[in-house]
Chains A and B, each alone.
Chain A
Amino acid sequence: MDVAVIAKEIKRDDLLHMYYYLKLTRALEDRITALYRQGRIVGGVYTSHGMEAIAVGYASALERDDIIAPFHRDMGAFLIRGFTTGEILAQYLGKRTGPTKGKDGNVHMGDLKRGVLGFVSHLADNLPVAAGAALAFKMRGESRVAFAGTGDGGASRGDFHEAMNFAAVRKLPVVFFCNNNQYAYSTPLRLQMAIPNVVDRAKAYGMPGEIVDGNDVAAVHLAAKRAIADARAGEGPTFLEFKTMRMHGHSEHDPAKYVPRELLEEWKKKDPIVKAERLLKELGYGDDASFQEVTERAKSEVEAGVEFAEQSPLPEGPEVLEGVFADKADSY
């Protein structure tokens, strides 16, 4: 992206804020991966390693009362929405202090008070749900937006189509995105779809679409801001395709031998943190010393989280019976 445009469109503090969350996401997920390798975390560990710019870019473009339905590699969105490293690590360790109190694990968390819909493994399930949240905003005359995404694999689901179509018909204030990281588990794009870009589908639903460099946090942020502004202005939904690359396996148990090494080498050069640091230097917003300071700050926030999570209690067995039914339903 043109540095002059970024300088004009994004405030210095906002860019530094995004940089902090890029680093915090990386530090947190690296720590989670390490805990997994030590056998202290069980179950799946799906990281956003190398794709952190997407969630950080869009979540920082939203207002506080907007709603996010994140993809499962959008850790930055949780952090920006105020999920603490302690809560997140407690979730990974199955502790009672996690957002699901041990009922669910890892990225399968949400909180309506903080405007994050709980991630559902059945990819694209939350797209119609987010459209419905946007429907509620529109019906109540609220100036709120829903921001909902899935991956290149999830884009093959019927719910992807049904959500986009319904939202376009009713001109709902929702932004859809596809986190196109080129692999759905082991399945490459060429076996997922017969079109070069997922965004080609936007036209078929009658909504604008845009391809965005998913490794460029400023580009993601600005594209998200434009789409959000349109949605808020009553212009209806937009579809954003964030092009990126999944740098780890599907989950940390998966060495991803099916991904050509050259492809990973090529994308390693486009690492979003490296890219952001280059930009900050060009803008004169940071230098190696300030980046190091951010690294330390992120690390200590993660370590405080590890301590909180490890000291937190596990749930007791009989808690399994709690919460099947709600005894009240609030408004959000």
Chain B
Amino acid sequence: MMTVPQTSEKVSYLEAISQALDEEMACDERVFVMGEDIGTYGGAFKITEGFLQKYGEWRVLDTPLAESGFVGAAIGAAMMGLRPVVEMQFADFISCAFDQITEVAAKNHYRWGAAVPMVIRAPFGGGVHGGPFHSECPEGWFFHSPGLKLVAPSTPYDAKGLLKAAIRDPNPVIYFEHKFLYRRIKSVLPKEDFVVPLGKADIKRVGHDISVITYGAMVHLALEAAQALAQEGIDVEVVDLRTLMPLDKETIFASVRKTSKALLLHEDNKTGGIGAEVAALLAEDCFDCLDGPIVRIAPPDTPVPFSTPLEEFFLPKPSDIIAAARKLAAY
């Protein structure tokens, strides 16, 4: 059997993102990066470390502290034919650029046919003691804004392949990269160029009793819970959405039609989150095959708190998934 050449060293989620950027910049001179402190400093999380030396200050642009301004500038450069990749220092700060993203980037093609091929990288998520302004999961705001594509990888493979696909896509894509996974998740990657197509979910664990539908860091919690549940004879399937918009309805429906039970898990607030939409889709399309209630596990409707016991209470835990799965399995 042919084997795909792999990297000999394991690559972290963070390195995978950095590699994708580096490789796209090397092979396409239209691609450039811009954001706060990404040049000399290499970015708050060091994703673009060494890029300034390699690509120079006009392809690695340190910007003023003005998210709306530099997202707007990226939109203009993208419309002219470049491929900007904007770094939000933290996803939380994307709120400053909300108007440019939802009113200009998202609507330009629909309104007057102007494609906006750009990527906004947004380091999101909690578990890092960031508090209310450095831990947010703001994907819900953009999920409701037609014209944007949203991705949220959970593994180094997906992180690299989805970022490449996002850069090559002719639309504005918000790329939610989870800070908690940056240095914690590693794996070997294919040596050759690869992409993970946008709009395709991935079954991270095949199971037959319950579908856990999730994305981002929660995928790893789901896998941990699934392992424990397997000891009790509950066979969990873990569906990693990977792309939030457009949602891969086909994979979601196929999984739930097989297991007849759906547990929706995410780190964003419960109300009006991605889970709410998936629940509605399942109620509309899979009602006849459901053998139990659609269950959601998500944080309460509060800002992300700072203090350790508060944040631990706030974030979903494997024990929450296990308890909910046991209840659901009993139906």
Contacts and interface: CB of A to CB of B under 8 A. Distances in A.
Nearest to B82: A136
Specify which of B61, B80, B100, B113 lies most central, judged by the most chain A CB atoms within 10 Å of its CB: B80
B72 interface: yes
A199 B108 CA distance: 30
20 contacts: A100-B113, A111-B112, A120-B103, A125-B72, A125-B99, A128-B68, A128-B100, A132-B77, A134-B76, A135-B77, A137-B80, A139-B82, A159-B72, A159-B100, A161-B66, A162-B64, A162-B69, A163-B73, A325-B109, A331-B80
Interface in B88-117: 99-100, 103-104, 108-117
A132 B114 contact: no
Interface size class of A (residues with CB under 8 A): 35 or more
Nearest to B81: A331
A324 B68 contact: no
Nearest to A170: B61
B147 interface: yes
B32 interface: yes
A324 B110 contact: yes
Interface residues of B, number: 42
Contacts of A99: 112
B6 interface: no
B211 interface: no
Given A117-B76, A323-B113, 20 more contacts: A67-B80, A103-B111, A103-B112, A111-B113, A117-B79, A118-B111, A125-B99, A126-B104, A128-B69, A128-B73, A129-B72, A130-B76, A132-B72, A132-B78, A134-B76, A136-B82, A138-B58, A161-B66, A166-B66, A328-B115
Contacts of A170: 61
Nearest to A139: B58
A109 interface: yes
A68 B110 CA distance: 20
A316 interface: no
A200 to B, nearest CB: 20
Contacts of B213: none
A131 interface: yes
B77 A133 contact: yes
A136 B83 CA distance: 10
B114 A325 contact: no
Given A128-B68, A159-B68, A323-B110, A112 B79 contact: yes
A327 to B, nearest CB: 7
Contacts of B147: 324-325
